[in-house]
Structure 1
Amino acid sequence: MTLEQGMLFAILLCTIALFIWGRWRHDTVALATLMAAVAAGLVPTDTAFSGFGHPAVITVACVLVLSYALQNSGAVDLLARKLLPANSGVMATIALLTTLVTLLSAFMNNVGAMALMMPVAIQAATRLKLTPGQVLMPVAFGSILGGMTTLIGTPPNLIVSGFRDSSQGSSFAMFDFSPVGVLVALAGLAFITLVGWRLVPKRQQGGVEGFDTASYLTEVRVDAKGKADGLRLAALEQLLEEADAQVVGLVRNKFRVSAPTGYRMLKADDVLVIEAEPESLGNILSELGLTLEENVKADVDITDAEKTSGSGKEEVLLELAVMPDAQLIGRSAADLSLRSRFGINLLALSRQGNRSIKRLRRTELVAGDVLLMQGDAELLSAFASEYGCVPLAERSIQVPDKRRIWLTSIIMLGAVAGAAFGLVPAAISFAAGVLASMLFKALPLSKVYQAIDWPVVVLLAALIPVAEAMLSTGAAALLAELMLSHLSQGSAVITLILLLVLTMTLSDFMNNAATAAVMCPIALSIANQLDVSSDTFLMAVAIGASCAFLTPIGHQNNTLILGPGGFKFGDYWRLGLPLELLVVAVSVPALLYFWPL
C-alpha cells in the first residue's frame, strides 16, 4: 500500500463513519471529504470542482425541476383519484398504491412521489383500520424499487452511468436499467403485497378517528388561580396519569429544570413540558387550568400575517411531517418566527424514538418530526409548501390545471424520449426540458431553483473527484485485489454477489449516491482484474445502492415515514431484510443473463 492509498483510505473511512454518525448533513461531509483530499494532494486543485459540471450532476438537478413541475400540476392527484377505488380491500389497496408510486418513481424524483402519496396512504390506512405504518412502509419501499428501473429514477443510476462513460466512452441508455430493475421491482411488489405488509410492526391502533401519531411534547403555562396553581408536581402527575400523559420538564423564570422533583410546588406562569396524546390535550388543559404556551404568546403578539389574513377565517389544527430535504431541518420555531411571519403556531412536536425536553420553541427540528400546527388553513398550506412539509390529515385535492398537466407531461415525455432514443445526451435533453418549462411557464420561475435539492447536488459534485482519485491512486484496484484473493477466491459470480451485498449494506447506513460514487471505482477495478465486462458489476452497484431497506437513514423516503408511521430505528429490518434477500436472489441471475460476464 502506498502513502497516497493509505491517506485516501483514511479519508474514506472517516467519511463513511461521519455518514453513519449522521451528526452533520451529507453535503457537509462530502465537501469536507473533498477538501481533505485536496489538502492531501490526492485531488488536483484545478479539478477539485469539476464535479459541478459532471453530466450526472446536471441531470439530477434538471430531473428534480421537471419532477417538481409535474408534481405541482395536479397530474398525480388526478391519476390517484382515477386509479384508486374507494372500496378496495387491504391487499388490493396496497398493491395499487405501491404499483402507482413505483411507476411514478421511475420517471420523477422518488421523494416527491412519496410525498404526494403519503396523505393518500394514510387515508387508506384509516379506511382499512390499519396502522399508518402498515401502508406507509410498503409505499416507501415501492418508491425505492421504482427508482432502479430507469436512468433518471434515482441518482445512483446516473452516477453509475457517468463512470461507464468515463471508462468506456459511452454511458448507459435510459432503459438499460429496466431489464434487471423491472424484474426486481416486480418481485419486490409481489412480496410486499402478498406477505410483506403483514411484517410491518403495528406501532399504533388503527381506527376511523384519523391519523394517530406518537405522543406529543407540548408546552403549557400554569394559569393564575387555576387548579394546577399551588399544586405539588407529584399530585399533578397523578392527575396526568389518568390521561396517559406525563411531565418531562419545567421552566420557571426562564430556567429549565429537566427532571423536576415531585415535591416542587407549581406557581402561576410556570411552563410545563408535558408528553401527551393529541386527543388528550383538550381535557388536560381545561381540567387543570393550563394554557398552551403558544396561545399565551398569541394574545400579545399580533402580527402582520394576521392583519393581512383577516380576522374572520377559521383556525384549524394540522399535522405536518418534516421532509428529509426540508428547510426546517436544524431550525427552531423561534428561528423561523412562525407567528410574526406566517401567523401560525407550533403547538406540539412528536419525534419517534427520541424525546427532547428543551423548550419547544427552541427545539431544532429534524427529518421525520411531526408538527402539530395551529392557524388559518391557507397560511398553514403556504408554510408547508415553502418549508417542505407534508400534511398528514385529509387534504382537499386541488382542481387540476388541465393546461399545466398536459404541458408538464409533454415536456417530461419529450425529455425522456430525447435521452431514451439517444438523440442527445441525457443532461442536454433534461436541461432542454427545464428551459421549455421556464419558457412556457409550466413552473413559476421563482420555483425553479427551489425545486433543486442542493445538498444532493453538492454531495455528488464533491464526491465525484474523490471517487476518481480512487482510480488514479490505485486504491480501488487494491480493494478489488483483496476482495478477489481473500473472499471470492477469484470467482466472478461470488465476487458479484459480495459486491452487491457490500453495496446494499453501505447504502443502508449512508447516502445512496455517495455509496454509488465510492463503489463504482471498485467495481471497475474488479472487472479489469477478472478481465470480464464491467457492465455487470456497475449494474450490481446500481441495484445495491438503490436497495436501502434496513434502516430509516438509508433512504430519504425511509426517513420521511419514521414519524408518521410511529416507527423506531429497528423496525425496518422486519420487512427490509427479507426484501433485500429477495433482491439478491432475483438480481444476480438477472444480471448474469442480461449483462453476461
Structure 2
Amino acid sequence: MMIVPPPHAIGAMLLTFAMFYGFVSGRARVEIISLLTVTAIALGLYMFPLPGQAPTDGLKLAFEGFGHYALVTICALMVLGRGLVTTGALQPVSRLLTRVWRYNQQVGLIITLLLAFAMSMMVNDTPVLVLMIPIMAAIAANGGLPASRTLIPINSAVLIGGMSTTIGTSTNLLVVSIAGDMGMPPIGVFYFTPIVLAAAVIALPFIWLVMPRLLPDNSVAAGHEPRRFSALLRPGENSAVHSLSRAELEARLPAGIDLFGTVGHDGRLLVSATPAALEETMRVLDATAAPAWLMERLNLGYSQSGEDLNVVELAVARDSGLMGKGVQNANLAELYNIAILGVHRAQRPWLGVLSAEATVDNCFDEGDIILAVGTSANIRQMALAENVLILEGAKEMPRSAKAPLALAIMAAAIVPASIGLAPIAISALGGAIAMLVTGCVRVDRVGRALSAQVILLVAASIAIGRVVLESGAATWLSELLAIGLQHLPPAGVLAAVMLFVTLLTNFASNTTAAAVGTPIAFSLGQQLGIPVEPLVLAVLFGCNLCYATPVAYQTNMLIMSAGDYHFSDYTRTGFPLVVLMIVTLSTLLVVRYGLY
C-alpha cells in the first residue's frame, strides 16, 4: 500500500509540474521560468528547511547549479562549437553536400544524414543544424528536394547523433553528471556510443526512405502558398490611400494580400502578404514597408555605387543577437543599412493565434523569418554579426585561416576526455580558453557563443533534480512506478522508463526531464533489483527522443518556419520514430547488460 508522500516531496512535485507547465504554455520566457524555479527553491527551503538541514543549506542547494561542473562543461562546449562555425571549419561539409546533391538526390540525402549524424556527435546539435538549414534551402532552390522534405529528417539524424556521446547534447552531460553525483561510476565520452550506433542502423533507413514521403511538399512549385509576412505599409503623401474608404481600398489591393486595418493617424496599413504580393501592393498604393527616409537612403546608395539591393529571408536562430528585440529596437538600419519589410512569425498554434499587431511589434523569437532589403555585402555582414540564417541561398561562412587551428583545438579537447586522460570538464574548458586566446572566437563575441537560456535552464534543472531527490519525491515516485512495473521483464521496465521520460521531454523541457528522471531511475533500480546503469541510460536516451512535437527541443523550433511545418508534421513523422527507437534501444540495453 502506498503511503502519502512527505510535505517536501509534495512541494517538489508541484514545483516540477509548475515548471513543466510554464515551459509548455510559453506564457513566459524559459529564462524567467528557470529563475522563478530557482527562487522558489531557495525561498521555500529557507522558510521550510528539509529535515535535519539548516535554512542556509537550502540556499546552497538552490544555487549550486550555477557553479556545477556540468554547466561549466556545457558552456565550454558551446564556445568550442562557436569556434568551428565562425572560422568556417565546417565549410568543406557544405561544399561536399552541394556536389553530392547535384549527382543524385537520394545519395545526397543519405550522405547529408550521415554527415549531420557524425558532426552532432562532437558538436552541439544547434550549430550543426544552423549550418544545414541554408545549405538545404540553396539545394532546394537549385532543383533538389524541397526543404520541407529534408529538414525534419536531418534534424532527426542530428538528434540521434547528439544522443550517441556524453558531449553530444547538454542533456547528456546533465544526466551523466547527476548520476555521478549520486554515486554511479564515471561514464566516458563514447561509453554508450555502440548502443546508439546499432540503433541508428535501424533508424536511419526509416529517416532516409520513409520520413520524406510522410512530409508535405511545401515548395511554391508544388502549389503551396509562399510564406506570408506581416508588414506595416506607409503610404506616400500623394498616395490615393488617404482618400479611399476601406471598401474601395480592399478593391484595389492585389490578390494574395490581407488587410487588417489602419494604424495611427497617418494612414499606415497593417497587412499580411506573400513577398510578391507585398511588392505589388507597395507599387499600387505608392507605399513603403519601411520608413520612407530609410528607403530613400538605400536607393540613393544604389544610384551612387551601382550595387544592387536584394530582398532576402533571414531566419532567427536561438543564439541570434536579435532574440528579444523588436523591429524598432533591433536598429538594423543604423548598424547595417538594412530595412525590415515584414516578419513571418514561427507557427506556435499551442500559444493561440497572435493578433496582427503582435506579429509586427513582438520581439523576435527562435524560428521567426525576417523579410529584409539591403545590399548583399550589408546583408552578409548583418547575418554574421547577428547570427541569422540567409534562407535564399547558402549562408556565406567566413573562410578563415584559423579553421585548421579550430579543428585542432576541438580534437585536443575531445580526444583526452574520450580516452580517459582528463575529465571532459577540464579538457573542454581548456579548449574554450584556447579558442579565445588564439582568436578563433573573439572575446567580444563570446556572449553569442553562450546561451543565457541554456545556462539558466541547466542551473534550474540541477536544482530541481536535487530537490526531487532529497525531498523523497524520487523515492515515492519510484515506488509508485515499481508497483506497476514489478511484473514486467527488464526489457519492459527499461522501455517504460524510456517512454515516461520521452513523454516529459516532448511536452516540456528535456533538461528538466533529465533532472527528474535520473534520481527516479536510481530509486527504481533499488526497488526492482535492476542495475542502475541501464536505467540511467534509458533516461538519457528517452530525453533525446524529442521528435514528436516542435516544442520538444530547440532545433525542432528552428526548422519550423524554414520548412513551413505544422504541428502535425512532427507528430506524423516523429511518433513512429520514437516507437522504433524505444523498442530498439531497450532491446539493446537488455542485450548489453544481460538482463534476460
Identify whether the pair has TM-score above 0.5, normalized to the shorter chain: yes
The one-character-per-residue Cα deviations of 1:112-147 (angstroms, maximum 9, x if unpaired) are 010011111112223345432111111111111110
Q: Distance in 2 between matches of 1:363 and 1:167?
A: 43
1:203 corresponds in structure 2 to 218
2:393 corresponds in structure 1 to 394
1:247 corresponds in structure 2 to 259
1:578 aligns with 2:576: yes
2:140 corresponds in structure 1 to 125
2:313 corresponds in structure 1 to 319
Shift of 1:30: 2.1
Q: Distance in 1 between matches of 2:568 and 2:65?
A: 36
The one-character-per-residue Cα deviations of 1:292-331 (angstroms, maximum 9, x if unpaired) are 141414268x69xx99xx9664332221111133332332
1:258 corresponds in structure 2 to none
1:99 corresponds in structure 2 to 114
2:326 corresponds in structure 1 to 332
Change (3 A) 1:430 1:538: same
The one-character-per-residue Cα deviations of 1:275-299 (angstroms, maximum 9, x if unpaired) are 111122222222x223114141426
Q: Distance in 1 between matches of 2:202 and 2:241?
A: 58
Q: 1:475 aligns with which of 455, 473, 477?
A: 473
Instruction: Point out the structure with the larger helix share.
Output: 2
Shift of 1:441: 2.6
Shift of 1:490: 6.0
Shift of 1:550: 1.2
1:427 aligns with 2:425: yes
Q: 1:595 aligns with which of 557, 574, 593?
A: 593
SS in 2 for 1:247: strand
SS in 1 for 2:389: strand
Q: 2:58 aligns with which of 37, 41, 44?
A: 44
The one-character-per-residue Cα deviations of 1:504-544 (angstroms, maximum 9, x if unpaired) are 11111222222211211111111121222111011111111
1:17 aligns with 2:21: yes
State which drifts further: 367-376 or 88-97: 88-97
Shift of 1:395: 3.4
| Native 8 Å contact 2:101 2:144 kept in 1 | no
| Native 8 Å contact 1:94 1:138 kept in 2 | no
1:61 aligns with 2:66: no
1:521 corresponds in structure 2 to 519
1:534 corresponds in structure 2 to 532
1:264 corresponds in structure 2 to none
Q: Distance in 2 between matches of 1:487 and 1:290?
A: 70
Question: Map of 1:344-493 to 2, 5 A cutoff?
Answer: 344-353=338-347, 354=353, 356-358=355-357, 362-395=361-394, 397-398=396-397, 400-401=399-400, 403-489=401-487, 491-493=489-491
State which drifts further: 353-362 or 330-339: 353-362
Change (3 A) 1:450 1:398: closer
| Native 8 Å contact 1:369 1:563 kept in 2 | yes
State which drifts further: 21-30 or 148-157: 21-30
Q: Distance in 2 between matches of 1:98 and 1:588?
A: 24
| Native 8 Å contact 1:213 1:564 kept in 2 | no
Q: Distance in 2 between matches of 1:76 and 1:486?
A: 48
1:82 aligns with 2:96: yes
Change (3 A) 1:384 1:80: closer
Q: Distance in 1 between matches of 2:385 and 2:261?
A: 32
The runs of 4+ residues in structure 1 deviating greater than 4 Å are 310-313
Q: Distance in 1 between matches of 2:226 and 2:173?
A: 37
Shift of 1:399: 6.5
Q: Distance in 1 between matches of 2:346 and 2:452?
A: 27
Paired residue type of 2:294: A
SS in 2 for 1:548: coil
Change (3 A) 1:212 1:89: farther
1:494 aligns with 2:488: no
Change (3 A) 1:96 1:360: same
| Native 8 Å contact 1:222 1:289 kept in 2 | yes
Q: Distance in 2 between matches of 1:90 and 1:78?
A: 19
Change (3 A) 1:272 1:45: same
Paired residue type of 2:539: V
Shift of 1:443: 2.4
1:565 corresponds in structure 2 to 563
Q: Distance in 2 between matches of 1:512 and 1:297?
A: 47
Q: Distance in 2 between matches of 1:94 and 1:501?
A: 29
SS in 1 for 2:564: coil
The one-character-per-residue Cα deviations of 1:364-401 (angstroms, maximum 9, x if unpaired) are 22221110011233332333333331111113644633
Change (3 A) 1:156 1:399: closer
Unaligned runs of 5+ in 1: 254-268
1:276 corresponds in structure 2 to 273
State which drifts further: 458-467 or 557-566: 458-467
SS in 1 for 2:243: coil
Shift of 1:203: 3.3
The one-character-per-residue Cα deviations of 1:159-186 (angstroms, maximum 9, x if unpaired) are 1111221223532101012022222233
Paired residue type of 1:556: Q
Change (3 A) 1:460 1:21: same
Shift of 1:492: 3.5
The one-character-per-residue Cα deviations of 1:221-272 (angstroms, maximum 9, x if unpaired) are 23344344423322332343x522110231131xxxxxxxxxxxxxxx4111
Q: Distance in 2 between matches of 1:20 and 1:436?
A: 38
2:199 corresponds in structure 1 to 184
State which drifts further: 115-124 or 159-168: 159-168
| Native 8 Å contact 2:121 2:167 kept in 1 | yes
Change (3 A) 1:25 1:81: same
State which drifts further: 148-157 or 168-177: 168-177
Question: Map of 1:247-266 to 2, 5 A cutoff?
Answer: 247-253=259-265
Q: Distance in 2 between matches of 1:22 and 1:107?
A: 30
Paired residue type of 1:68: R
Paired residue type of 1:585: V
| Native 8 Å contact 2:86 2:440 kept in 1 | no
1:260 corresponds in structure 2 to none
TM-score, scaled relative to structure 2: 0.90
| Native 8 Å contact 1:352 1:568 kept in 2 | no
Change (3 A) 1:591 1:396: closer
| Native 8 Å contact 1:125 1:134 kept in 2 | no
Paired residue type of 2:451: D
Shift of 1:493: 3.0
1:215 corresponds in structure 2 to 228
Q: 2:208 aligns with which of 193, 217, 232?
A: 193
SS in 2 for 1:364: coil
Change (3 A) 1:544 1:344: same
What RMSD in Å do the two structures reach over aligned CA positions?
2.4
SS in 1 for 2:271: strand
Paired residue type of 2:468: M
Change (3 A) 1:356 1:133: farther
| Native 8 Å contact 2:436 2:443 kept in 1 | yes
Change (3 A) 1:480 1:34: same
Shift of 1:60: 0.7
| Native 8 Å contact 2:41 2:62 kept in 1 | no
Q: Distance in 1 between matches of 2:32 and 2:359?
A: 27
